[in-house]
């Protein structure tokens, strides 16, 4: 037993030679660290790659600007280990004169003097030609956490946060180039297609195969594009600074839109016609900066709701020529921009705030166009992208608008064009759904007691991964006089439901319900508030295609249908049935009786510019003539 115990003690005992080896290793490590620290205290010059350009004459002499990591502790609390390869020359150390052999500088071990003109801020260390910088280049430490200054961070992440400025204002200095880089004139063909390889073998199909056989889709160019092309090859030309360094100018001028031509046979309540109508929609865009632009919409082939074409009525034909120079009832023209970026650019600082504004004959579409879809003379401003942790609002924005003219509303009749109004709307995202709230006050220009308040409210979200639901309400109140004479006094409730199927992107059943009390009116819209309820409540704004009563005036009803999209989303088929039921015996009600309709719509692109669309419907109207219509439309986009 004594022998076994002694063997265990010898096995567990650490030899003296092992402890001696550990002490020697530690001593060598401490000596190496001391030597390294002593070496780091000596001034050492930058090591630069060969420079292929001749130094400029009359360059000042002296040391280069301190580079990243040259200050004690580094930037952002970086350890001193990061500073070792980035030591700079002492202030009294003159740079050695560069020599040249065969037109190429040989001062690979020397810096190029203060004419390097390094941009202010952190800079990574110098790398030799062909070197790709990677993590751990200068030490085994891990990279900085996100949000801290890093050699791999883009320039906008290296700018100080407002808290770091401590009330200071950061101004923009002119752009400066490192002397180790060379400028090159702008050329729009720098990213043009590769040249022909001639006799070299080129497997085009094999090269496309590595991208999963994807290919470039043909796209229609704008009708007119000047200054900066839309999605063209090559880099952009340098931006201008006439509005400030932080709001660079880059002009773009585009003319785009579509041309619509349709043939229809329509049987409305009043008469039946065969129509060939044409419509040209032109959008004219002139961008000065990324946020400031002038925009204009022009329909030269129409006046109001009359379009150029030929009408066949009871065997007679009539050529209608509505060549329009300018129509403020349907066209738009406005200037929009971000006031914060404009002020920041003029002051040479970052934008102090975000405040998009629009002035002129401006179009506004609010609450999916159900509450407002109109262009009016006025001004609008938005406070975007805010949040409120206290109310658990992840995102919300607010828009305030004032209108002075050209409001389209049946609440004021023909005098609505002269009406003035003021309003506000907000969009709030909260807990998987979003609210849309809008209020406006409309002033009667004739002072006949028709001024009123208009409120639009909606809430949208998805439930149980089964149905996407929107609940909307439009409330009108405030008009005086007898109730039968009030044109905007009532309530409209809408519920829109689309159901998720096993193929949710291609098969979309929907059920939309509504009920109206009194005479509810949207704030501004050419058609009634039920336009989005279904295809049987929507006209084509071209041929006078028939539709059911879309006013919601003392009626209720539904639209039930299915929206079928092709596997590649390149075709669409909609089949729908709709009904309008009347409420009460109000003699001022627009619908004379109950109405029912079935409709179908099909459309698909012929190529990258042409689209064909076909519609057909038949409606059964109580106390009125039945309606039906069929139309074929070709649309060219440019």
Query: Are 326 and 457 found together in one domain?
Result: yes
Q: Residue 550 region, left (φ>0) first, then alpha (ψ -120 to 50), else beta? A: alpha
Cβ contacts of 67-74, under 8 Å, gap ≥ 24: 67/118, 67/123, 67/125, 68/122, 68/123, 68/124, 68/125, 68/151, 69/122, 69/125
363 and 504 belong to one structural domain: yes
- Contact predicate 423/401, CB 8 Å: yes
Same domain, 478 and 542: no
Q: Are residues 482 and 603 in the same domain?
A: no
- Whether residue 251 is contained in a domain is answered as yes
3-state secondary structure of 531: helix
**In-domain check, residue 470:** yes
Residue ending a domain, choose from 478, 512, 532: 532
State the Cα–Cα distance between residues 166 and 596, nearest whole angstrom.
68
Residue 545 sits in which domain range?
534-638
Domain match, 510 and 539 both: no
Q: How many domains does the chain have?
A: 2
* Calpha distance 343→354 (Å, rounded): 10
Q: Which stretches of the chain score pLDDT less than 70?
A: 1-178, 188-205, 207-215, 234, 314-315, 317, 321-330, 414-416
Q: Are residues 404 and 545 both part of a single domain?
A: no
Position 177 scores a pLDDT of: 66
Q: What does the alpha-carbon distance between residue 472 and residue 131 come to, in Å, rounded to a whole number?
A: 61
395 — phi, psi (to 5°)?
-160, 135
Strands 252-267 and 302-303: unpaired
How many angstroms separate the CA atoms of 519 and 412, rounded?
12
Do both 507 and 569 map to the same domain?
no
Do the Cβ atoms of 142 and 152 come closer than 8 Å? no
Q: Domain boundary residue among 532, 564, 582?
A: 532
Residue appearing with tokens 């919601």:
552
Q: Are 92 and 40 in contact, with CB atoms under 8 Å apart?
A: no
DSSP characters over 317-377: EEEE----S--TTT-EEEEEEEHHHHHHHHHTB--S---EEEEEEEEEEEGGGTSEEEEEE
Alpha carbons within 13 A on the beta-carbon side of 38: 6
Q: What integer pLDDT is reported at residue 245 of this predicted model?
A: 86
Looking at residue 239, its pLDDT comes to: 86
Last residue in a domain, options 517, 532, 547: 532
Q: Would 171 be classed as within a structural domain?
A: no
What pLDDT does residue 165 have? 67
Residue 441 and residue 576 in one domain = no
Please, which contacts does 156-162 make with residues 24 or more away whose CB atoms are closer than 8 Å? 158/121, 158/122
**607 part of a folded domain:** yes
Asked, for residue 79, whether it belongs to a domain, the answer is: no
Tell me the C-alpha distance between 623 and 594, whole Å.
8
Question: Do 439 and 503 have their domain in common?
Answer: yes
pLDDT at residue 302, rounded to an integer: 82
What is the value of pTM for the model shown?
0.69
What the block records as the tokens of 635 is 């649309």
Give yes or no: residues 528 and 590 share one domain.
Answer: no
Per DSSP, the three-state class of 39 is: helix
Residues 352 and 489 in one domain: yes
Strands 372-388 and 524-525: parallel
On whether residue 199 sits in a domain, the answer given is no
Is residue 538 a contact partner of residue 501, using CB atoms and an 8 Å limit? no
Assigned domain for 70 exists: no
Is 542 part of a structural domain of the chain? yes
Pairing label, strands 610-621, 524-525: unpaired
Q: What's the pLDDT tens digit per position in 290-340?
A: 899 999 998 888 877 788 888 887 667 677 766 655 566 668 999 999 999
Query: Tokens at residue 368, please?
Result: 């999916």
Q: What pLDDT is stored for residue 549 in this prediction?
A: 95
Amino acid 617: pLDDT? 96
Same domain, 384 and 285: yes
Helices (H) and strands (E) in the chain, counts: 5, 25
- Return phi, psi of residue 434, to 5°: -145, 145
- pLDDT at position 602: 97
State CA 103 to chain mean position distance: 51
């Amino acid at each position: 037993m004594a022998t076994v115990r002694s063997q265990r003690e010898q096995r567990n005992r650490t030899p003296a030679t092992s402890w001696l080896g550990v002490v020697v290793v530690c001593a060598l490590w401490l000596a190496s660290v001391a030597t390294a620290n002593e070496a780091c205290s000596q001034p050492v010059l930058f090591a630069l790659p060969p420079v292929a350009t001749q130094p400029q004459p009359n360059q000042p002499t002296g040391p280069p600007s301190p580079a990243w990591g040259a200050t004690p502790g580094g930037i952002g609390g970086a350890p001193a280990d990061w500073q070792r390869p980035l030591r700079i020359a002492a202030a009294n150390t003159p740079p050695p004169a560069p020599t040249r052999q065969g037109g190429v500088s040989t001062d690979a071990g020397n810096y190029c003097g203060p004419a390097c003109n390094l941009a202010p801020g952190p800079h990574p260390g110098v790398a030799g030609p062909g070197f790709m910088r990677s993590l751990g280049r200068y030490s085994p430490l891990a990279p900085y956490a996100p949000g801290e200054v890093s050699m791999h961070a883009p320039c906008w992440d290296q700018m100080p946060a407002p808290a770091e400025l401590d009330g200071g204002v950061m101004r923009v200095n002119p752009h400066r180039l490192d002397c180790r880089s060379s400028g090159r004139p702008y050329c729009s063909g720098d990213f043009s297609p590769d040249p022909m390889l001639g006799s070299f073998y080129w497997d085009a199909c094999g090269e496309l195969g590595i991208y999963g056989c994807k290919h470039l889709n043909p796209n229609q160019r704008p009708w007119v594009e000047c200054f900066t092309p839309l999605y063209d090859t090559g880099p952009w030309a340098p931006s201008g600074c006439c509005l400030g360094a932080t709001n660079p100018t880059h002009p773009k001028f585009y003319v785009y839109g579509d041309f619509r031509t349709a043939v229809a046979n329509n049987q409305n309540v009043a008469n039946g016609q065969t129509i060939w109508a044409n419509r040209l929609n032109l959008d004219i865009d002139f961008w000065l900066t990324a946020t400031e632009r002038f925009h204009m919409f022009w329909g030269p082939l129409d006046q109001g709701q009359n379009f150029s074409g030929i009408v066949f009525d009871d065997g007679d034909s009539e050529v209608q020529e509505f060549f329009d120079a300018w129509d403020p009832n349907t066209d738009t023209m406005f200037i929009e921009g971000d006031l914060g970026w404009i002020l920041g650019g003029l002051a040479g600082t970052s934008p102090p705030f975000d405040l998009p504004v629009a002035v002129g004959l401006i179009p506004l579409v609010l609450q999916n166009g159900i509450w407002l879809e109109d262009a009016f003379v006025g001004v609008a401003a938005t406070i975007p992208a805010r949040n409120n942790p206290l109310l658990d609002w992840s995102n919300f924005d607010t828009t305030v608008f004032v209108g002075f003219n050209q409001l389209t509303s049946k609440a004021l009749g023909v005098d609505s064009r002269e009406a003035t109004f003021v309003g506000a709307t907000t969009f709030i995202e909260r807990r998987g759904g979003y609210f849309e709230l809008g209020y406006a006050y409309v002033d009667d220009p004739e002072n006949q007691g028709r001024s009123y308040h208009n409120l639009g409210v909606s809430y949208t979200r998805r439930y149980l991964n089964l149905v996407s639901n929107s609940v909307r309400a439009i409330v009108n109140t405030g008009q005086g006089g007898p109730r039968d004479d009030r044109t905007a006094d009532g309530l409209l409730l809408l519920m829109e439901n689309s159901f998720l199927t096993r193929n949710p992107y291609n098969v979309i059943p929907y059920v939309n319900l509504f009920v109206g009390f009194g005479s509810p009116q949207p704030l501004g819209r050419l058609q009634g508030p039920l336009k989005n309820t279904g295809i049987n409540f929507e006209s084509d704004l071209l041929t006078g295609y028939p539709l059911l009563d879309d006013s919601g005036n003392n009626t209720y009803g539904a639209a039930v249908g299915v929206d079928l999209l092709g596997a590649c989303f390149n075709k669409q088929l909609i089949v729908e049935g709709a009904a309008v039921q009347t409420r009460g015996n109000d003699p001022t009600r627009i619908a004379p009786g109950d109405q029912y309709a079935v409709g179908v719509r099909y459309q698909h692109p012929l190529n990258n510019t042409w689209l064909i669309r076909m519609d057909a419907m038949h409606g059964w109207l109580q106390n009125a003539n039945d309606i039906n219509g069929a139309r074929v439309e070709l649309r060219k986009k440019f």
